[in-house]
Amino acid sequence: MNKKHLSAGMVHTLLLSYTLLALWPIFLVLINSFKTRKAIFKDPMAIPTVETFSLVGFDKVLARSSFDIYFSNSIIITVVTLTLTLLIGAMAAWALSEYKFRGNLLMGLYLAIGIMVPIRLGSVSILNLIVELNLTNTLTALILVYTAQSLPLTIFILSEFIGQIPKDLKEAARCDGVSEYKIFFEIILPLIRPAIATVGIFTMVPVWNDLWFPLILAPGEEARTVTLGVQQFIGQYVTDWNAVLASLTLAIIPVMILYIFFSRQLIRGITSGAVK
Amino acid sequence: MSEIKLDKVHKSFGSVEVLHGVNIDIKDGEFVVFVGPSGCGKSTLLRLIAGLEPITSGDMYIGEKWVNDLSPVDRGIAMVFQSYALYPHMTVYKNMAFGLKMGNQGKAEIEKRVRNAAEILQLTPLLARKPSQLSGGQRQRVAIGRAIVRDPEVFLFDEPLSNLDAALRVQTRLEIAKLHQELKNTVVYVTHDQVEAMTLADKIVVLHDGNVEQIGSPLDLYNHPANLFVAGFIGSPKMNFFEGRITSIGKGQAAVKLADGKETVVPVEGAHLGVGGKLTLGIRPEHLELEVSSGGPVVGGHVDVVERLGDVSYLYVRANGDAPFIASLPGTSDVQPGTEISLGTDPIHVHVFNENGNAITNARNPAL
């Protein structure tokens, strides 16, 4: 009797059932977005048939609302936040793990606190700050807040990875006369690409999905994000399920694309052959 | 010109001092090997020369320049790391060209230098490969190539062979020796392997606990070890040591009573010695012989193990009343394990060390 290891079959069953559980709501959203309103209510679990098939939700979302603006807003916010977070985060992680300076440890601790304390606790002061900076109803406000929110974890994870890069590599580069910036961009960054991809996915999802900050910082029509835009279909008395489900379905697409882009970077064993 | 001069170089990590005032002069074009047991500070010393660690106190000159505060590049050095430290995401070609690109060399010049180095190191067919597709020996050659292309004044090698298997190690050792004859740069080479040190070096620096124990040519160190540490470190198998006490002192010789009770006469100047003082006799395994005739010390014991290597046989002897020792006899001798044996040596081959472990000149053979 080998009790230590679950059999491969058990592991697969467990993982498969979890996958099913996780994908079920998404599946429901997908199938129902292609059904008529009646069919959604009559049998939410049914797959769209010839009679129940309808694109009325997509029509409403794409043709009769400003969803193109919401979409581009969401995409701009997510992409700019990602770029800023990954660039600044990686540089800060490199500085914190490579250079020994006064306050190095303190700075690391300060950032660790950022991981532990949820940024939403500071919503009121953030709102005050944004109002004073005249940034309400702008994408900049959201980008700044999201970047601040994502940086601590990014720096924490990336400095671990940078710490694992063999010291000899950096020293070899220094002997070669490579400047510190070049070492970072041409040696360190390519080597932590898998880590950056992981952190990218971690950062992207909450930013894309967030409702809170768009609601309080940028509720205006021009700066509205997809998640906030969906809310206009959810009324106090009537909810336009066709439109809600259609917009959610559409909202999956950009995240999927970004995910595929990042996951291709997750090449394992990229440092093999560096040393020994 | 690229001579290197270290003047009272100290290095501390925090409160721990690892190098206690090192003075070394390295001539232009010389192949110098730092050798010592692990933790003796030899790698630290190399990193100080490279400029990867700051010097705590003292002065260092490369060429005529005072280099204490210069960065590695400005010192004109190139370093080959023990772990090779190749850039894993770059091809062999790019690995070698990377440093040159930073130095603002023209593209054609870079191409020429890399091709040239690849030719010397037989890397030409491998230029398009990534480090992960290379064997250990090939990676090592790429690491050396990366140093060569920069045409440095000084090559620094940090235990470059220790990750290779035995056969490859011998081969690469030869290649490095040949390379040095071709390029004639100054080389500083760190190793813990005294065979590498003996075979490669023009000059060996023996380090121990952050101090320079002795500097000299390989044969110098073999024939005239300055103290017990160098005597025990250089030579394989190790030199045997026999402790004894002085019983009488004559002109140009002293009588010593060894631990097994036998008395022997060693040819040393007795001026600084006193009767009753402790002495250590050092005899290399290859100088012990079965025929005892020359009036030198005789040691004996019980043969535990005989290792027959063909050309020589190593006898591991449990001595009568002293530490065990090793004798190296010609492969033709048929001494069997388990027998009692008596071995002697010519007094000329006896190294004598005083109480502090320092060598005393052998009066019969002052050159020794």
For residue A274, the chain B residues in CB contact (below 8 A) are 83-88, 131
Tell me the average pLDDT across A96-118. Answer: 88
How confident is the model over A199-231, as pLDDT tens digits?
A: 998 889 899 989 999 999 988 888 889 888 888
Average pLDDT, chain A: 87
How far apart CA B50 and CA B13 sit, in angstroms, is 17
Tell me the average pLDDT across B338-362. Answer: 86
Asked if B83 lies within 8 A of A275 by C-beta distance, the reply is yes
CA atoms within 13 A on the CB side of B366: 2
B78 touches chain A (CB under 8 A): yes
- From the options 3.10.110.10, 3.40.50.620, 1.10.3720.10, 3.40.50.920, give the CATH code of A60-263: 1.10.3720.10
Give me the percent of chain A exceeding a pLDDT of 90: 33
ipTM: 0.77
Asked if B72 lies within 8 A of A177 by C-beta distance, the reply is yes
Predicted local confidence at residue A272, as pLDDT: 47
Predicted local confidence at residue A3, as pLDDT: 54
Q: Choosing among A176, A178, A275, which should be mutated to test the B contact, i.e. which has the most B CBs within 10 A?
A: A176
Burial of B89 from C-beta contacts in 10 A (0-12 / 13-18 / 19+)? buried
Residue ranges of E strands in B123-239: 154-158, 186-191, 203-208, 211-216
Q: Is the pLDDT of residue B204 over 50?
A: yes
B155 touches chain A (CB under 8 A): no
For residue B72, the chain A residues in CB contact (below 8 A) are 174-175, 177
Q: Which of A177, A272, A275 sits opposite B85 (nearest CB)?
A: A275
For residue A186, the chain B residues in CB contact (below 8 A) are 98
How far apart CA A242 and CA A35 sit, in angstroms, is 8
Give me the percent of chain B exceeding a pLDDT of 90: 42
Q: Choosing among A168, A175, A183, which should be mutated to test the B contact, i.e. which has the most B CBs within 10 A?
A: A175
Contacts of residue B13, defined as CB under 8 A and 6 or more positions apart, other chains included, come to: none
How far apart CA B221 and CA B229 sit, in angstroms, is 11
How far apart CA B36 and CA B41 sit, in angstroms, is 8
Nearest CA in chain A to B136: A276
pLDDT confidence of B293, banded at 50, 70, 90? Answer: low
For residue A191, the chain B residues in CB contact (below 8 A) are 88-89
pLDDT confidence of A55, banded at 50, 70, 90? Answer: confident
Asked if A274 lies within 8 A of B99 by C-beta distance, the reply is no
Peptide bond into B237 cis (omega under 30): yes
How confident is the model over B303-318, as pLDDT tens digits?
A: 999 999 989 999 999 8
Tell me the average pLDDT across B88-97. Answer: 92
How confident is the model over B57-86, as pLDDT tens digits?
A: 999 999 888 999 998 888 889 999 988 899
Q: How are beta strands B312-319 and B298-308 bridged, if at all? A: antiparallel
Q: How many interface pairs between A and B have CB atoms less than 8 angstroms apart?
A: 87
- Secondary structure class of B188 (helix, strand, coil): strand
How far apart CA A249 and CA A111 sit, in angstroms, is 36
Q: Which of B83, B131, B133 sits opposite A168 (nearest CB)?
A: B83
Asked if A274 lies within 8 A of B87 by C-beta distance, the reply is yes
Residues in chain A: 276
pLDDT confidence of B294, banded at 50, 70, 90? Answer: low
From the list B208, B212, B343, B205, the residue with the least C-alpha distance to B281 is B343
Q: Where in the sequence of chain B do the CATH 3.40.50.300 domains occur?
A: 4-232
pTM across the whole model: 0.79
Q: Dig out the tokens for B227 from the structure.
A: 């103290």
Asked if A275 lies within 8 A of B73 by C-beta distance, the reply is no
Q: Is the pLDDT of residue A236 over 80?
A: no
Nearest CA in chain B to A167: B85
pLDDT confidence of B367, banded at 50, 70, 90? Answer: low
Q: Which of A166, A182, A272 sits opposite B102 (nearest CB)?
A: A182
Tell me the average pLDDT across A92-98. Answer: 91
How far apart CA B77 and CA B68 sit, in angstroms, is 14
CATH topology of domain B237-360: OB fold (Dihydrolipoamide Acetyltransferase, E2P) (2.40.50)
Q: Is the pLDDT of residue A268 over 80?
A: no
Question: Is the CB of residue B34 less than 8 Å from the CB of residue B189?
Answer: yes
Tell me the average pLDDT across A245-268. Answer: 82
Q: Choosing among B48, B87, B138, which should be mutated to test the A contact, i.e. which has the most A CBs within 10 A?
A: B87
Q: Which of A168, A178, A271 sits opposite B99 (nearest CB)?
A: A178
For residue B50, the chain A residues in CB contact (below 8 A) are 171, 175
Q: Where in the sequence of chain B do the CATH 2.40.50.100 domains occur?
A: 237-360
Q: What is the CATH number of domain B4-232?
A: 3.40.50.300
How far apart CA B147 and CA B188 sit, in angstroms, is 13
How confident is the model over A159-210, as pLDDT tens digits?
A: 988 988 888 899 999 888 888 899 999 999 988 888 898 899 888 989 998 9
Question: Is the CB of residue B126 less than 8 Å from the CB of residue B91?
Answer: no
| Domain locations in chain A as residue ranges | 8-54, 60-263
Predicted local confidence at residue A276, as pLDDT: 44
Tell me the average pLDDT across A249-256. Answer: 87
> Sign (positive/negative) of CA torsion B266, B267, B272, B275?
positive
